[in-house]
Amino acid sequence: MLDPPGQARVDWEVVQDIAHRIGLDWSYSSSREVFDEIVSVMASYKNLSYDNLGLTGKLYPNPDPEHSDGTVVMFGERFNTDDGLAHLVPAEWLPAKELPSEDYPFVLNTGRLLQHWHTGSMTRRSYALDAISPRAQVYLNPDDATELGLADGEMARVSSRRGTIELETRVSHAEARGNCFIPFHFREAAANLLTTDEIDPWGKIPEFKFCAVRVEPAAAPGRAESAREAAPQAQGE
């Protein structure tokens, strides 16, 4: 859409440079070559080419990309199974690797805010978005906040077995008792100083959405090590 400014490069060039540095012999010269290889190994991309993508792209599968945008709704009448029905397979439930305890009685969930994106490197530079959500906050159920002696806007200390951060309290009816929520956009109170590095055994997805923490007023004497001592480096989300 736009010529890259300065020395900025398109994504595939950056990825290829990384591949070279780890010993892979990649030699793409254009996004066309990358797409052609994707088509060669993905059956659902059959009939697509870089040229017939046009300016707006195509949906897939697409039996006639020259005259059609592609399949808008897949499996409208039947699923791609022998009997045309969806087959639901029960999954074995497994508990999280780190459950609440007497020392760490709260379950921490991390995630996004409407106003910010990932590390906030772009959205926190936006005056309007940063004005709406300018500070790191821990969201607590009103009853939990009352028991902890924390009021809306007061500073709280949140600690896990890996580190400690201090941030503002946000009393919220969206959280169930025993749970708290911390957005991960704020490097000054990085949520991933607290999270565990356990991964799902099958999907290999990090368990950033569940770990045990302790919440207390920031003014209270700290029982945990400081974030600098306990967690010198935050994990990536």
pLDDT digits (tens, 9 = 90+) for 56-82: 899 999 999 999 999 999 898 999 899
Mean pLDDT of the chain: 90
Per-residue model confidence (pLDDT) at position 203: 86
Give per-residue pLDDT as tens, 14-66: 999 999 999 999 999 999 999 999 999 999 999 999 999 988 899 999 999 99
Cis amide leading into 61 (omega within 30): yes
In percent, how much of the chain has pLDDT > 70?
A: 92
Q: How far is CA 136 from CA 43, 72, 148, 188, in A?
A: 45, 40, 19, 8
- 3-state class of 37 per DSSP? helix
Q: What is the DSSP letter of 91?
A: P
Please say whether the beta carbons of 185 and 124 come within 8 A. Answer: yes
Banded pLDDT at 223 (limits 50, 70, 90): very low
Query: Which amino acid does the sequence have at 119?
Result: T
Query: What is the predicted pLDDT for the residue at 220?
Result: 53
- How far, in Å, CA of 60 to CA of 103, rounded? 51
Please report which confidence band the pLDDT of residue 93 belongs to, taking 50, 70 and 90 as the band edges.
confident
Q: State the Cα–Cα distance between residues 151 and 54, nearest whole angstrom.
A: 55
235: CB partners within 8 A, 6+ apart: 192, 195, 197, 206, 208
Give Cα 57 to chain centroid, integer Å. Answer: 26
- Distance (Å, whole) CA 79 – CA 56: 28
Give the DSSP H or E segment for 137: strand 137-140
What is the residue type of 34?
V
Q: What is the arithmetic mean of pLDDT over 136-160?
A: 97
Asked if residue 211 lies in contact with residue 179, where contact means CB atoms within 8 angstroms, the answer is no
What's the pLDDT at 91? 84
Q: Per residue in 186-219, pLDDT tens?
A: 999 999 999 999 998 888 999 999 999 999 999 7
Position 222 scores a pLDDT of 45
pTM listed for this prediction = 0.67
Distance between CA 11 and CA 97 in Å, rounded? Answer: 35
Which pLDDT score, from 0 to 100, does residue 235 have?
42
pLDDT at position 170 is 97
